[in-house]
Structure 1
Amino acid sequence: MATRRIISSEKTILDQDDHDGSGPAADQKSNISPAVPMDVIVKLLAFTLAMIVVPIGSYFATVNTLFKGNSTFAGALAAVMANVVLIAYVVVAYTEDQSDQLDPKKKESKKDL
């Protein structure tokens, strides 16, 4: 079994990782912004709440009023409403993703003016 000897003049992996704060890394300002923007979190929480409230609310609102006690139709409507909320979330996420791609183009056109 062979082992590797560390020569004193050779830097180890730990020595290579150590830096004293000088150099190009020290000149850069630390980025402490959150990884996920706050508006994305708010949208996710809103759609999560809607995913809970809309199907259950539509079931109980229609089971005795619109469908006269027929829970099968009310349950089917609740399932449809859950899919509507899900599709709405996908549409909002897709349009938000496209707006992120369009923003750099707008910034570049403003720089040219």
Structure 2
Amino acid sequence: MTSRRIIPTEKNLLEKDDRNDTTPSALENSNITPAVPAAVIYKLLGFTVAMIAGPIGIYFLTVNTIFRGNSTWAGATAAIMANVVLIAYVIVAMKEDESDKLAAEEKARKGQ
């Protein structure tokens, strides 16, 4: 039966890291900005709340007032509301992507 001997002079995986980025100057130059802008996260959270509250609210609003207890029609209305929120999210995301492209093109034009 073979086994590997542990050699005290050999570095383990944690000690083999060749980077020496723990100096104060390296820590000051590090970029810790978030990968996703805050506005995008706020939009996502807003649409998440709308996706939860919208269909549920429409269901309970319409089940007894408009459809007089017919839960099938109220459920269908809630499903339509969920699709409306989803489509609105896709449209907002596409508009945001277009505005980012236009801003990049405008910046490239000014740089020339």
The TM-score, its normalising length taken from structure 1, stands at 0.72
Deviation at 1:42, TM superposition (A): 0.5
Write the distance in 1 (CA, Å) between the matches of 2:104 and 2:62. Answer: 47
**Aligned residue number for residue 101 of structure 1:** 101
Question: Which segments of 5 or more consecutive residues in structure 1 lack a partner in the other structure?
Answer: 1-13
**Aligned residue number for residue 54 of structure 2:** 54
Q: Amino acid of the residue matched to residue 43 of structure 1?
A: K
Q: Amino acid of the residue matched to residue 84 of structure 1?
A: V
**Aligned residue number for residue 76 of structure 2:** 76
Identity of aligned residues (%): 64
Write the distance in 2 (CA, Å) between the matches of 1:67 and 1:20. Answer: 69
Deviation at 1:108, TM superposition (A): 2.1
Deviation at 1:18, TM superposition (A): 2.5
Q: Amino acid of the residue matched to residue 65 of structure 2?
A: T
**Aligned residue number for residue 41 of structure 2:** 41
Larger mean CA deviation between 58-67 and 102-111 belongs to 102-111
Larger mean CA deviation between 97-106 and 41-50 belongs to 97-106
Q: Amino acid of the residue matched to residue 102 of structure 1?
A: L
The TM-score, its normalising length taken from structure 2, stands at 0.72
Matched residue pairs, number?
A: 91
